Each structure stands twice: as structure tokens, then as C-alpha cells.
Amino acid sequence: MGRSRSDLVVFVAKRLVQLIPVLIGVIVITFFFTHIAVANPCVAWAGPKASPSAITACEHLYGLDKPLPVQFVNYLKGLVSGDWGYDPLYQVPVLTAIEQYFPATLELVLASIFLMVVVGIPLGVVAAASNGRIADHLVRIFYLSGWATPTYIAGAVLAIGVGSTLGISGGAFSTLSSPVRTLTHMSVVDALLAGNLSATGDALAHLILPATALAFINMGIATRMTRSSMLETLPLDFVKTARMKGLGEFVVLYKHALRNALITTTTVLGITAGTMVSGTVVVESIFRWPGMGLYAFSAITDYDFNGTIGVVIFFAIVVVVANLVADVLYGVLDPRVEWR
Amino acid sequence: MAEDLLRIEHLSVDYHVGAGTFRALTDVSLSMPAGRVVGIVGETGCGKSTLGHAIPRLLPQPPAQVRSGKVFFQGTDLLKLPKWRMPSVRGTGIGMIFQEPINSLNPAFRVGDQIAEAVQIRRLREHGRQPARKADVQGFDYSKREMPKAADVVTGPFVPPNLTETLKQRPPPISKDLQKEVLDFLHLVRINDPERIISLFPHELSGGMRQRIMIAMALSGKPSLLIADEPTSALDVTIQAQVLTLMKELMDEVSTSILFISHDLGVIAEMADDVGVMYAGHMVEFGPVAEIFESPRHPYTKSLIRSIPNKYKEDGVLPSLSGSVPNLSRLPNGCTFHPRCPMVRDVCRKDPEPPLTDLPPGPAGLVHRSACYFPEEVASLP
């Protein structure tokens, strides 16, 4: 084992293989949970005043009249062949829905990560550099309030308090003043691709509140982790060496110390991927952001089994891949790490 | 009289830890003319490293606090400089080698890049692109054995970089040329195959190699003063000898002034021109290395020298100094050494503590100072 490119490929491949049992577990648990918890979704699907024969027809159509193990085997067959089933209300295939909704969520999550990195980490550095002084205390108020605020409260406060005051709201596409052609399903990227600057600004204005709401709790974690790992790094001799080269304090902090402090911060941020995914459900519902979270929410409330399982599988993959990315970043940041 | 390169006047440093205040340095004075190698010796916890770190203001504040004193480097009191100007003194003015090469190199960067960074800073200053002290801008040729003249060493006023001027100037040549200079410095510290070494990370090198890299890095700033804080204490004995030999050779080649801190009297005897002996945060004796070893004028120095292992000694027992260094938060009254002193008298137990005073000049006419009331009687001690 070493640090060559082929070692990295083997490392990533191994981790992806480990994903398989995780996915099997996720599928089994969600499938039986959904099918046992809700006795007969056709009562809901067929409409409020459906006749018993319509309900029976519905059951037959979706194979719900067969024994549960048979249903499970049928579902697995579909899963492997790329047919993840479809939404009984709107007849949209699950994979198509994910394809459409995922980019919007990706945009939201990337914006949140951007905020975490650009605001959370430097604040941690500032706090560590002024350890015990006024700036440190101010930053501590910030990150503790971040940590103590659940995403749904942050979302509600931002949507009702800030959003309505400033006259900006969430909702990526529907509320854009000048709609642009959707290519990537990411509002900011689409507006930029169309070369429409006012639409880009509009899209950004719609993005900023949900992104902040989603980032808020993780921003607190990022700040706090950066602060504590910087406090561990700053007394080390190589920081003195950097100072004794004649480097300015900014380079000493942000190049020499932060580069090493980030090694621990990265791992922790990988763990926050789960928080972030569950946060999207809340934030997208509050801001009517047309992404995976909103889809997950409507799939669950509509008793859309296929949609629910599809979303859970997808979220599981996202969380595992996010942690894999964090592990790879960890290795990239720390030259002492060997891929294994 | 020529200006001293480094002159420390009555420096006192405290550490505030928990409830107690530790007097790490008490009233330490030292002057160091350009081109000399001054050794600082003493037991663990006597304040040698604090002294070394206090000069370029590396002490973390808090817990450390400079209670009083002045540190003149090239005529400027460093303790009075605003904090943001300290980087202009470091690197090209004062370089430093630390005790543990395992910790003193940044684990995340290749060693070549770390040295290149130091070279680059010096070049920027030589080209006037970064604020630096006047003497450093002129630089001096490391192939010649000349020090910058003390008269050139007066600090110029700080001139903020003129932006339009700066933009007009061409950037100093970098990349290939920079790499060549990095390789030159690695050759200077006798590293074979430096082309391979520059692309390695610190953890891929042995302790001795890392310390050589560290020395190369410190020298690549071409500092007027090099502070070596126990540069060999963390190394194996054989590697220690190699690094000491290297440093000894470099002293002849590079002729920079060195403040050499060590707990090892043998190392100090080998390396230094002058020695300062420290005890419990006090400078108890200072003088030329030969005089200190032949006729110490402080009972502490005497007992330190007595306890050097000597294979020619017939009687088996190695004399040792009884007792231990006093707790720095509760220093004894009067002379700090009196509880362990074999020739203690009543006057030693009372405040004030004996000051470091000049002794009558010896045959060589060099300054010799002792902080003992009875320096003449030390010779009669066993």
C-alpha cells in the first residue's frame, strides 16, 4: 500500500464495493417498513370516494395483492433492470423524478458547502488566532447559536423573518421573474448558461436563504472544529518555523497552520453529510425548493412506496459517497496517509 | 565601540500558568558582537529556550509575559516594534533552528517547497518588494567570510511599499532559478542527491536529514543572527556528531553570528566563543569559553563542569550536584543558587540577589562576568 494513483483507485473501488451490503440493508429495511407500516396504500391512491372494485383493480395493478416476499422479489428485479417503479399519482418513473430533482438539491447543497467553507472555516481560524479575546467570544456566540438551532427553526426564521421582510423567497424556477430554458435543472447555472444576468441575480437571491438555512447548523460545526484543530496546530514547532521564515501572520495562519488543521476538519465535515441530506427535506419543504427533499417529503406523505425507497437508496449512496470524498480529501491533505 | 549585533538588557519573562507565576527569566543581560558564537548552557528548565524564543518574540502571549527589559537587535528594540513588523526581522534578520526536527518541518508540504518559500521571502526583500530591515536588503555574500559592517546595520525607517513602484518593478526571477538556489543550500548542508530530496515530505526523511533541511532553511534566509535552540539534543549520538560537525564547518563557511543553546557543556565547549551559564532563569556567569572551563567564577558553573563524564577519571563515582533547580514560582531569597551552594554564607541568603558583575580582566583581556559575591573563592572548591 502506498500513495500512488493505482493505490487510490484500489482504495476507492474497495470502498464502493463496501457500499453494496449497505445498499442491500437499506433496501430491505425501507421496503418492509413501507409495506408493513401502510396496510393498503390503494385506499389513498384510488381517491377519496373510490369503489371497492377500483381499489381491488389498483391493488392488482401494483401487485399489492401478492404475498410480501413475492412483491419484494419483483421489486428487486425491477431495481436491477433499471425500472425503479413509478409514482402512482402522476405516473412519473422514480428514476426520471430523481434525475429532475437531484440537480436542484445539488445546487442547494453546493451553495451550503460553499458557505460552510467560505464563512465557517475562516471564522474558526479567526477565533483560534484570537483565542480568549473578544473576537473569539463573538465567534463562539455565532457557532453555538448555529449548533443550537435545528434546521427547521433556522429555515422557518429565515423564510418568515428575513425572507418576507426583504421580499425574497425560496422556490427556484417557478418564482423566477424571467424564466430561462432548463438545461441542468440548476437555476443559477441555467441562468448563467442563458447569459441572462438579471435571472442569475434573481436565482442567487432565491438560493441564498435556503442555502443559509441548510448550512447554519453545519457552519457552527465547521467553525468549532476548525477552531479546536487550529488551537492544536498553532503551538506546534512548524508554525514557529513558518514565522521564523519571515512570513506574515496571514500566510502562517491560512497556509501553514490551516492546511494541517483542515485534515481533522475534513473528516468531521464528511460526517455532517447525513445532517445535510436530512436537512434538505426540511429546508426544501419550507422554501418550496423543487429538489430531492421536497420529492422525498411528497413521496412519503403520498404513500408512494417506489418513490420513498428510491429516494432512500439515493440518499444512502450520497452519504456514503460524501464520506468517501471526505476520506480521499483527508488523504490528499495529509501526505502521511496511505491508501488502504 | 562598535554596535553589538544583539544586546539584551535586563530581560525578565514570566509565565502565568493557573494560579502561579513562573519567573522563567530574571534580569538577563547579554551582548553579542557580530561574528561571535555565543553558547547558552544550563539545566533543563533554566530558561535557555525561553531566552532563545524571546529574542524573535516567538513566545506565546499569554501565558508568557515580558515583564521588563529590552532586546536590541541591530540597534532596534524588538520588544517595542509593533507586532506586524516582526516578520520583517525574522528570516533575513534572525533565523532559528529548533530542537526537534520531527516537529519543526510542516508535514503537509514538500521540503523543497518549504525551503523555496524562505528563499523567496529573502529575494523579495532583496528586491525591495517586501518590507525588510535596511541591513538585510543589502544582503551579504555567503561565499565570503565577511559579516555586514556594524555601521550598516542601523535600521532604516519603515517605508510602506509604493504600489505603483512595485507594479513597475519586474518580479524577481523565480522557478528554475529559485530551485537552483534551493539545491545550492541543500548542497551546503551536505545532502547527497538533493534533486530527489526536494520532492520528499518531511516524514519520509530521517531525523538527521530533517535537521539538515532545517539548517538549510534557516540559512537560506541568510540571517545576520542564527539562534540554534538545542539543535542536536533530539538526535541519536552518531547523528548528533554529524550535525555538529556540519554546523562547525558551516560556521567557518558562512560566518554568521550564532546563539547556540544547549544543555551539553561538551557541545558548547566545541562550538562557542563565549558562554553564558544560566541557572533558574538567571545568567550566573558569562565569559570566553576557555576561561569559563579553566577557571569558572561561579560555584554553579564549577559543579556543572565537575559533573561532565570523563573516562580518564580514576575514582568510579561521577560527582553530581545535589538538589534540583528551584521551583520558578517560588524562587529563594537572595542568590537563587544558595540552597545548593557549597560555599554559601549569610549574605547569600538575603535579598537583593547578587548582580552579574564584571570581573577584573584576565590575561586575554576579555569580559568575564559572574553573579557570585565571592568569585575568587570558587577556584578553591574541590
> What confidence score (pLDDT) does residue B144 get?
39
**Residues A228 and A170 reside in one and the same domain:** yes
Cα distances (Å, whole numbers) of residue A156 to A78, A214, A279, B13, B212: 39, 11, 13, 54, 59
Q: What is the model's pLDDT at position A88?
A: 74
Cβ–Cβ below 8 Å for B96 and A248 = no
* Least-confidence region, from A91-95, A158-162, B113-117: A158-162
Note whether A179 and A48 are same-domain residues.
no
Q: What is the residue range of A223's domain?
A: 95-292
| CATH of span B6-272 | 3.40.50.300
B105: nearest CB among A235, A238, A248: A238
**Residue A297 within a domain:** no
pLDDT-based confidence at residue B174 (cuts at 50, 70, 90): low
Question: How high is the pLDDT of residue A123?
Answer: 92
**pLDDT of the residue at B363:** 65
Task: Report yes or no: B107 at the A interface, CB cutoff 8 Å.
Answer: yes
Residue A229 pLDDT level (bands cut at 50, 70, 90) = very high
CB pairs under 8 A between A and B: 84
- pLDDT value of residue B138: 38
Mean pLDDT across B320-348: 79
CA gap A49, A231 in Å, rounded: 65
Tell me what pLDDT residue B161 has. Answer: 47
Residue B140: per-residue pLDDT: 38
- Is the pLDDT reported for residue B114 higher than 80? yes
- The answer to whether B251 touches B37, Cβ cutoff 8 Å, is yes
Residue of B nearest to A331 (CA): B108
Nearest by Cα to B299 from B334, B339, B240, B342: B342
Do A204 and A99 belong together in one domain? yes
Q: Does A249 sit within 8 Å of B118, measured CB to CB? A: no
Q: Are residues A41 and A147 in the same domain?
A: no
Q: Which three cell numbers stand for residue A106?
A: 445539488
Residues 6+ apart with CB under 8 A from B278: B28, B40, B41, B42, B46, B47, B48, B51, B284
Question: Residues 6 or more apart from A15 whose CB is under 8 A from it?
Answer: A320, A324, A327
Pair A317, A261 in one domain: no
Helix (H, G, I), strand (E, B) or coil at B302: helix
CB contact under 8 A, B98 and A237: yes
Query: Is there a single domain that holds both residue A263 and residue A197?
Result: yes
Percent of chain A at pLDDT > 90 equals 6
Q: What are the residues whose beta carbons fall under 8 Å from the beta carbon of A149, sequence distance 6 or more?
A: A216, A217, A220
User: Is the CB of residue B214 less than 8 Å away from at least one CB of chain A?
Assistant: yes
Residues A67 and A13 grouped into a single domain: yes
Distance CA B38, CA B263 (A): 14
pLDDT band at B327 (very low <50, low <70, confident <90, very high): confident
Q: Are residues A284 and A320 in the same domain?
A: no
pTM of the model: 0.79
In B, residues 117-136, which contact A (CB 8 Å cutoff)?
A: 117-118, 121-122, 125
Between CA A60 and CA A57 the distance in angstroms is 5
CB of B82 less than 8 A from some CB of A: no
Asked if pLDDT for residue A221 goes beyond 60, the answer is yes
- The ipTM of this complex is 0.79
Residue B357's closest CA among B374, B339, B369? B369
Domain count, chain A: 2
Q: Is the pLDDT of residue B275 over 70?
A: yes
What tens digit of pLDDT does each residue of A40-86 get? 777 777 777 777 787 788 777 777 778 888 888 888 888 888 888 87
Q: At residue B178, what is the residue type? A: L
Task: Judge whether residue A175 has pLDDT over 70.
Answer: no
Provide the grid cell at B224: 545576520
Residue A183 has pLDDT above 80, yes or no: no
Same domain, A211 and A70: no
Do A246 and B90 make contact, defined as CB atoms within 8 angstroms? yes
Q: How many percent of chain B have pLDDT more than 90?
A: 1
Cβ atoms of B111 and B201 within 8 Å: the answer is yes
- What's the pLDDT score for residue A127? 92
pLDDT reported for residue B196: 84
pLDDT single digits (tens) B121-167:
888 877 766 655 544 433 334 443 343 333 333 333 344 445 555 44
Residue A265 reports pLDDT greater than 70: yes
Q: Which residue spans of chain B are classified as CATH 3.40.50.300?
A: 6-272
Same domain as A143, residue A75? no
In this prediction, residues B313-341 reach a mean pLDDT of 76
What is the identity of the amino acid at A9?
V
Chain B contact present for A2, CB below 8 A:
no
| Cα A317 off chain centre by | 11
pLDDT at B325: 77
Same domain, A167 and A270: yes
DSSP one-letter code for B374? -
- Interchain CB distance below 8 Å, A244 and B90: yes
Question: Do residues A261 and A326 share a domain?
Answer: no
